[in-house]
Amino acid sequence: MPPAPLDRALEAHTLALPARVNARIRTDGGTSTATAGLLTAGADSDLAAARVHHLRGTPGTPQ
């Protein structure tokens, strides 16, 4: 995908998160959205999940 449309899609995805949390559609505090954003940017799935959990301070996850 060309960079400009990908950038717009990622921006829209990220900006939609607060509305979805406020509407109680999302209840994970953004963990899955942050992980999906990292995956879309090309991060390894295990690394993306570990980094997001580390930043959130989720117990029991690798740091």
The domain containing residue 47 runs over which residues? Answer: 3-56
Of 48, 44, 22, 23, the closest CA to residue 33 belongs to: 48
Q: What angle do CA 48, 40, 4 make, to 5 degrees?
A: 145
Question: Does residue 63 belong to any structural domain of this protein?
Answer: no
Question: Does residue 46 belong to any structural domain of this protein?
Answer: yes
DSSP letter assigned to residue 29: T
Question: Does residue 62 belong to any structural domain of this protein?
Answer: no
pLDDT score recorded for residue 58: 59
- Per-residue pLDDT for the chain (63 aa), expressed as one digit of tens each? 788 998 898 888 778 877 787 888 877 777 887 888 888 888 999 999 999 989 888 555 454
Q: How far apart are CA 8 and CA 27, in angstroms?
A: 25
User: For the whole model, what pTM was predicted?
Assistant: 0.56
Number of domains forming the structure of the chain: 1
Tokens of 10: 């990622």
Question: Does residue 23 belong to any structural domain of this protein?
Answer: yes
Question: Does residue 61 belong to any structural domain of this protein?
Answer: no
pLDDT score recorded for residue 25: 81
Decide: residue 38, CB within 10 A, 0-12 exposed, 13-18 middle, 19+ buried.
middle
